A and B are shown apart, each in its own frame.
Chain A
C-alpha cells in the first residue's frame, strides 16, 4: 500500500514540534501566565495539567496518520434523501411519498424499503442526514461537493479543470507517492468538477473512460492497439528509443521534454506492470463475485474500485448517473436506480470487510444535493440543497449511527448541520491529510485545502 510523502514529513515535523512544545511549556512554567490567571491579574504560576494535556493532544492528532484510501461514489443528479435515508412517514402523502421505512441491522435506524439489502448492513456505515448548502444548480453543486469550495462565476458542467479549486482526488494525488497505479482514478468517465485546477494536469484523474459492466470493457490506451502484437510493440519501442537517442541528451533540451519523458516512463511502467494490469482486469474476478456486486455499472465500478485500491490507488471516484428524478421519482427509484445500488453497496462493504480492507478503505456515498420535499405534478422531485443525506463507511470511521436530523418534512436541518466543507475536511482527515494545509494559487493567493470545514467528530 502506498505511503504518502508528506506523512513522513508531517510526522517528523510534529515530533519536532512536540519537543519544541514541551520546551516551551517548560519555559512557560517558569515564567509565564495562563490566560485565566492573566485575566485575574497578578497571579503568576505554571500551566495547568489539563492545558498541558490539551497541547499534547493537539500535537498527537496531527501525527496520527493511517494508511487509508478512498472510494468516492457520486450519485449524479441528486439522491432523494427522503425516499432512501431519511424517511418521514408522518408527513402528508405529497411529501412522504411512496416508500415505507424499514428496520435495519441497527435497532432504531430505519431506511427506505427500496433498500432491503442495504438495511442488513447499516452497522457498517454512518448515515449523515444533515448535509446542507445553497447551490441548487447541478454544476455548482458538483463543485462544492467535489472540492469543498463554493463555486464562483462560470460554468461547471463538463468543465475538465474546474479551475476554481482542486477536487479531493487531485489533492490526494498531489501528495501521493508513485505507485503501480495512478493515485487518482475516475471511472466510468470524468466526474464533473473532478479536475486538478491550479495543481496542474498531472494531478488530474486517470480516467477510465469505459464501463466495467460492458462485455468488452478495457482501460483505454494501456494496451497496444489491436493489430500490434507484443513483438511488434517491442520493435516500435526499440525504434523509438533509438530515434530519441539521436537527439541531444534529454537533460539538455529543456524541462518540458524531461517532464514528458518522465511520463513516458510512467506509461511504460503501467503498460508492463503486472499488478496494474491485473487490477484493471475485472474479468479475473469469478462470475460469483461479479454477480454479487451486480452486473451493473455501479456494481462493476465498485468491484473495480476495490481491485484498484487493493493495488495501491489512493482515490477512486465513481460516477453513477440518472438520479435527477424530476419525473416519475417512485418508478425511477424502484425500478431503475435503487436495485443496482442496493446490490452494489452491501456487496462492496461485505467484500472489503472479508478481505480486511474495510479499515483501510474509506467509502463515501455522496451526491450534489437532495430533492424537494413536495412531489411535483410530474410525480417527480426537484433540486433541494437545503437538507440531504450521504453515507460514510470504513477507513476507521464510526459506523452504525445516524448523524444529524432534519425537520418533519426533511426540508431543513433540525440538528447538527454539516456543510460540504465539513464533509471534505473529514475525508481528508481520514486520509491523513491536514485539511487546513495552505495551497498557493497561480495568483499566489494562499488558500486552505478546505476553507472553514470542520472534521465531523462523531465519525472519528
Chain B
C-alpha cells in the first residue's frame, strides 16, 4: 500500500462494545486520507471513515460517524466532503461512540481559483459529463456541428474545436456566463443532450473559471497525471449496504488531488452491487462478488465487492482437495459462505469427460466397461485414456480452427485444409503451445503447402492482424484503440500502431489456384491515421525496438511467448478453464483487463503458472483441471449455491456444441451423418471446411470464423433448434434407419428390457433408472416394438440430460 494510504488508525483505549449496524462491536476507526491539503478555491476532499469490528470486518461509517473541524471556520464538512472556507491549519475530528480519529488539515489559497489547465481539467469534465461519447459530440461527424475527440483522446483538437471553430462563438471571454459552452451544458439554452450540469455546480464553475482565465490551453509545464489510487481495493459487504469510494489522482510533481467526483464508475454485476456517479456503492439483495470499475482520464482500476452469506467463514462439509485447484476454489467458497456440491456419480463424470475432452459421446461398450471397472482410481485412468485418443486431436483442432479463423470462404479450400491439418498435427503431437504459436506468427511460405501462413490471409492489413493477434493470443481487445483510446483500459492508439508495426512488412504474393506466398519484407513503422506520424514499433507496455533485423515478427514472437508475458499463458489458462468449467475465471474468456478482474485471481494465477511450468503443455494442464475435485462436482446445487454462477461450487451445465451434438445424435442412433464432399463416415468434429452445407450445424450455431472474438459463435437456443430436434425428418430418419441401432436390436431379437437398457446407455451412457424403464414400458404397451423403441429413443434425444453436459 502506498505511503499516503497508511491510514490514520487510532484505537480507543477502551475496547468498549460500540455496536455497528450488524451488532458487531467496533474496535477501531480509520479515516482516509491521513492528511488533507486543500489548495485553491475549487478543491474538495472526500473522506472515508472505515470501522473495523473486533472480528476484523471493515465497513463504511462515513455517513454515520460524527465529524467536525477543531477550527470550524476553515472549511465546511458535509456528507463526507470537506470544502475550504479560509486559509489556516486545523484538525478534522471524527467520532463514533467513544472512538475518535484525527486528521491534520491545511487550507491554502482558499480565495483563489487555481489555474485551469485544458487537458488536465476541462477534458476530464467532458468525459465525466459524457459530452465526448460516441452517441454525442464524440462521434465521427460530431453533433450539430460541434465535434469533440472521442473520450477526449485528442485534447489539442478539442481545444481547437472550442476556441477556434464555430467562429469563436462557443466561448465568450467578455461574459463567461453567456458562452454557448456554459449555457448549453447547464441547460439554460436548448441543448439536444439536455442539462449536463447544474448551473451552480462545481462543474459549471470550472467551465466558467476556465473561460474567465482566458480559455487558454494552460501552462505547458503543468504537472501531468501519473496514476490514480483507489480506496478501498476490496470490501466484504452485507446486502443492502453502502460503501463510498475515494479516488486520488497523483501528479508528476507528487501532488495529490481528490478526483472522486470527477471519475466515472461502472459495475460488472449490478444485481450484486451498483455504483452511482458520485462513487457510492450500494449492494443489492444478491450474494456474490462484483467488480466496481473506476476510470479517470484513461487511468483505470477496480474495487472488488464481496457479499457473502451470513454463514461465511464456517467450515464447509467434507471437501477433500485433489489438487491445488480445489484449495483455491474452497478458499473462495468459504469466504462467500457457499458450500460446494458433492462429487457427481461415475456415469455423469464419464459422459462429461468424453464430451468435454474429445467432443464424443462414450460408446455403449466404453460406458459399460467404465461402469463395471472396480478400480478405485478409475476416473484418473479414464482421464489419461481420453487425453490420448485420436478424437482429442480432432476436437481441439476444431476449437483452435474457430479461434484462428480457418474459414474456407476467406482462405480457399486448399488453404483451409492445410491450416486445419497443421493445427491438428500440433494438437496430435502435443507440441508446446508457445512453440506452435511462434511458428504460426513467423510463418513464411506457400499457403497451399504450408498451413500456418494462412493465418495472414484472412487478415489482410497490419491493423487487422494486430486486432486478431492481440485478441486470440493475449485476450486484449485492441479494436477500440485503432481509432481512439480504449474507453475502459489503458490502451491508446500509440499502443495499437506500435504493435501494428510488426506486421507492416507482411507481403502476400498471388500464386495460381487461389494460393498466396506469405513473407515479410521492407519493415517500416506503422503510421498514425490522419497525422501520418510514424509510431515506434513496440510491444504492449514495452520499450520501442532499437533496431530491427530481419523479420520483425520474430521479435514479436519472442515477446509474446516469453514466460514474463503477463497475458499469453493467462489467456490460454482461462480458455481451458472456460472450456471445461462452462465459465471463464474471466468473462468473456478473451477479455483480460484490469477493469474485468477474475472471479478467483489466485486460481487463475495458479493455472497460468502451471501453463508456464509445464512448458506450455496444454494437455497436462487439461489433465490438472480434469483431475481436480471441482471438475468432478455434481451440477446439482444446494441451499447455499443455487444462485452461484461464478465460483464453481457446482458444475455448470452447458449445451453440447453444434458439432458435438450432431455427432452424438448420429452415434446414439447408429446412423452416421453424410456431408456432401466429405468421405463417408466423416464426423462433424473432423470437418475442416466450416462452409459445408449443413442445416443442423447452421441452426445450432457453428462458428462463422469471421472474428477472433469468442462472441462470434453463438450457442444461444432458438425456436428453430427446438423444432428441429422435435420434428426434423432427418433426425427421424436416423432413428428409424434400417442400418441404425434400433433396426439392429430388433433384427437380433432383443427384448423390451434389452432395448430400453441399450438405448439408455447409447444416449446417456448409463443404466436406465426404474422410472425410465416404466416410461419405456408405457410406450411398449401402446404400440409395436419398433415404434415404441423409436419413440423411446426420440424421447431420450430430446431430453435435457442428452442435450446438455451435466
Instruction: Give me the interface of A with B, judged by CB distance under 8 Å.
Output: 24, 28, 31-35, 38-39, 41, 51, 55, 153-155, 157-161, 163, 182, 190, 198, 200-202, 204, 206-207, 209, 220-228, 232, 235-236, 239-240, 242-244, 246-248, 250, 252-257, 259-264, 266-268, 270-271, 438, 442-448, 452
Contacts and interface: CB of A to CB of B under 8 A. Distances in A.
Interface in B460-513: 460-461, 464, 477, 479-480, 487-488
Contacts of B717: 201-202, 256, 259-260, 262-263
B709 interface: yes
Interface in B729-743: 729, 732, 736
24 contacts: A28-B190, A35-B180, A38-B189, A155-B407, A163-B707, A200-B716, A202-B716, A202-B717, A220-B728, A222-B727, A240-B798, A246-B769, A248-B636, A254-B635, A256-B654, A260-B655, A260-B717, A263-B717, A263-B719, A263-B721, A266-B722, A271-B727, A442-B588, A446-B135
Contacts of B707: 154, 163
Interface in B742-784: 769, 771-772, 775, 778-779, 782-783
A200 B798 CA distance: 23
Contact of A33 (B183, B772, B787): B183
Given A41-B178, A221-B726, A33 B188 contact: yes
Given A153-B460, A227-B736, A159 B723 contact: no
Interface of B: 133-135, 141, 169, 172, 175, 178, 180, 183, 187-190, 195, 407, 409-410, 459-461, 464, 477, 479-480, 487-488, 588, 635-637, 642, 645, 652-655, 691, 695, 698, 701, 704, 706-707, 709, 711-712, 714-724, 726-729, 732, 736, 769, 771-772, 775, 778-779, 782-783, 787, 791-792, 794-796, 798-801, 803-804, 806
Contact of B635 (A198, A202, A227, A253): A253
A151 to B, nearest CB: 11
Given A182-B719, A267-B723, A270-B723, 13 more contacts: A32-B188, A32-B189, A38-B180, A51-B190, A154-B410, A155-B410, A201-B701, A224-B727, A225-B729, A235-B783, A236-B794, A243-B801, A256-B717
What are the 4 A-B residue pairs with the smallest beta carbon separation, nearest first? A267-B722, A225-B732, A442-B711, A221-B723
A52 to B, nearest CB: 10
Given A38-B183, A243-B795, A55 B727 contact: no
A447 B480 CA distance: 13
Contacts of A267: 719, 722-723, 726
A225 B727 contact: yes
B729 A33 contact: no
A244 B797 CA distance: 11
Contacts of B715: 201, 256
Contact of B787 (A31, A190, A232, A270): A232
Nearest to A264: B722
A253 B736 CA distance: 31
Contact of A252 (B178, B642, B712, B724): B642
Given A159-B704, A253-B635, A267-B723, A247 B800 contact: yes
A34 B178 CA distance: 11
Contacts of A254: 635, 652-653
A163 B712 contact: yes
A255 B798 CA distance: 18
Given A200-B714, A256-B804, A257-B804, A246 B772 contact: yes
Contacts of B652: 254
Contacts of A51: 190
Nearest to B802: A243
A22 to B, nearest CB: 13
B188 A244 contact: no
B723 A222 contact: yes
A131 B707 CA distance: 30
B641 to A, nearest CB: 10
Contacts, number: 202
A223 B727 contact: yes
Nearest to A190: B698
Contacts of B588: 442
A146 B447 CA distance: 33
A345 B54 CA distance: 81
A400 B460 CA distance: 47
Contacts of B719: 182, 202, 206, 263, 266-267, 270
Contacts of B477: 443
B586 to A, nearest CB: 14
A161 B722 contact: no
Nearest to B651: A254
Given A33-B189, A445-B134, A227 B460 contact: no
B633 to A, nearest CB: 13
Given A55-B190, A248-B636, A243 B718 contact: no
Contacts of B637: 252
A444 B782 CA distance: 55
A445 B480 contact: yes
A362 to B, nearest CB: 25
A264 B714 CA distance: 18
A248 B650 CA distance: 14
B795 A239 contact: yes
A165 to B, nearest CB: 12
Contacts of B172: 41
A28 B183 CA distance: 11
A179 to B, nearest CB: 12
Nearest to A160: B698
Contacts of A220: 723, 728
Contacts of A270: 719, 723
Contacts of B801: 243, 247
A445 B487 CA distance: 9
Given A38-B183, A240-B799, A443 B479 contact: yes
B183 A442 contact: no
Given A153-B460, A266-B722, A443-B477, A236 B791 contact: yes
A347 B394 CA distance: 54
A157 B716 CA distance: 23
Contacts of A202: 716-719
Given A247-B800, A260-B722, A38 B178 contact: yes
B653 to A, nearest CB: 4
B727 to A, nearest CB: 5
Contacts of A155: 407, 409-410, 706
B459 A34 contact: no
Contacts of B133: 446
Contacts of A445: 134, 479-480
B653 A263 contact: no
Contacts of A209: 695
Given A247-B800, A256-B653, A446-B135, A221 B728 contact: yes
B772 A31 contact: no
- Chain B CB within 10 A, most for which of A28, A239, A244: A239
A241 B455 CA distance: 48
Contacts of B636: 248, 252
B803 A225 contact: no
A176 B717 CA distance: 17
Contacts of B461: 153
Nearest to B459: A153
Contacts of A163: 704, 706-707, 712
A204 B141 CA distance: 31
A452 B140 CA distance: 10
B799 A243 contact: yes
B720 A206 contact: yes
A244 B409 contact: no
B732 A227 contact: yes
A270 B726 CA distance: 12
Contact of A201 (B409, B714, B726, B803): B714
A271 to B, nearest CB: 7
Contacts of A31: 188
Given A243-B796, A446-B134, A260 B721 contact: yes
Contact of B464 (A24, A153, A443): A153
